[in-house]
Amino acid sequence: MRNILILLIAMSTLGCSTKTEKWVFVLAGQSNMAGRGVVEPQDTITTEGIYTLNEDMQLELAKDPLHFYEPKLKGIGPGYPFAKELKKNIPNSVEIVLVPTALGASSISQWLGDSLHRGVHLYSNFKTRLDSTKKLGDLKAILWLQGESDANPRDLPNYKMRLEELFQRFRKDAGNDQLPILVGEVGTYSEPESRNQDWKTLNGIINEVANADSNTYVISSKGLASNSDHIHYNAASQRTLGKRFASKYLNEVYQKQ
């Protein structure tokens, strides 16, 4: 008992704490959030204090690929790079939990309609995993990266309304009407040029939504590069994007709390 007391006093003197807290972040959207970058050895090294909620709803140390819904399409996304960058800049006592929910090629209307998409009911799955965060720790934010499926003349006119509706639903189901939502832009490298213009239009809508909502924050895609498909961020850009998500959270949310 005396040795334990001495240890606790020493840790207190050093500014350490024996108490840990978990910060939870839900990762949602379509394929660029799920990740299509080629996983390299550096992406598969776990980091102490960073966890993910796996397919069996159990916590395990996080590493890429995080998303498991599409086994043949798994790759690196921004989630794990986000967590690694964040962990460097927050108290050591804080553990991070990532909750993957993204499905490739999912449109925003499919999320709103809880469509069965690639074997998963999009919103029901999201809601189940969102509800689990109440037992996992403190839900800090939702990271959203989606839009390629909606960047077309048919869906663009309704995208603003649909995005606002979805974010309202996220916050209502989270029980926090001020929950931060971090929104990544789609890439600006799309081909052909007509599609590229649609993607730029969609990014404009994303920024318009964020400008009208003090708890929504946009992460720029400027300068990021794609795989050869001109649709998905490559591995290096996913790592950069993850760091941008972390910087946005640290500077716009964490520092202002």
Token pair listed for 149: 């499926």
In CATH, 18-256 is 3.40.50.1110: yes
Q: What is the pLDDT of residues 70-80, one digit of tens each?
A: 999 999 999 99
Domain range summary for the chain, segments of one domain joined by + = 18-256
**What value does the mean pLDDT take over residues 137-146?**
98
Question: So what's the pLDDT on residue 20?
Answer: 85
Q: Which amino acid is at 217?
A: Y
Which residues have C-beta within 8 Å of that of residue 102, sequence separation ≥ 6? Answer: 27, 28, 29, 30, 31, 33, 34, 67, 69, 77, 145, 146
Distance (Å) of CA 29 to CA 82, 89, 117, 148 = 15, 26, 12, 10
The CA-atom distances, in angstroms, between 147 and each of 84, 107, 131, 138, 233 are: 25, 7, 25, 28, 13
pLDDT tens for each residue of 200-231 = 999 999 999 999 999 999 999 999 999 999 99
Asked whether residue 1 carries a pLDDT value surpassing 90, the answer given is no
Is the confidence at residue 156, as pLDDT, over 70? yes
For residues 133 and 12, the model is more confident at 133
**pLDDT tens profile 3-39:** 433 333 333 333 333 468 999 999 999 999 999 999 9
pLDDT number for residue 19: 63
Q: Which of 65, 39, 42, 66 lies closest to 52 in space, CA to CA? A: 66
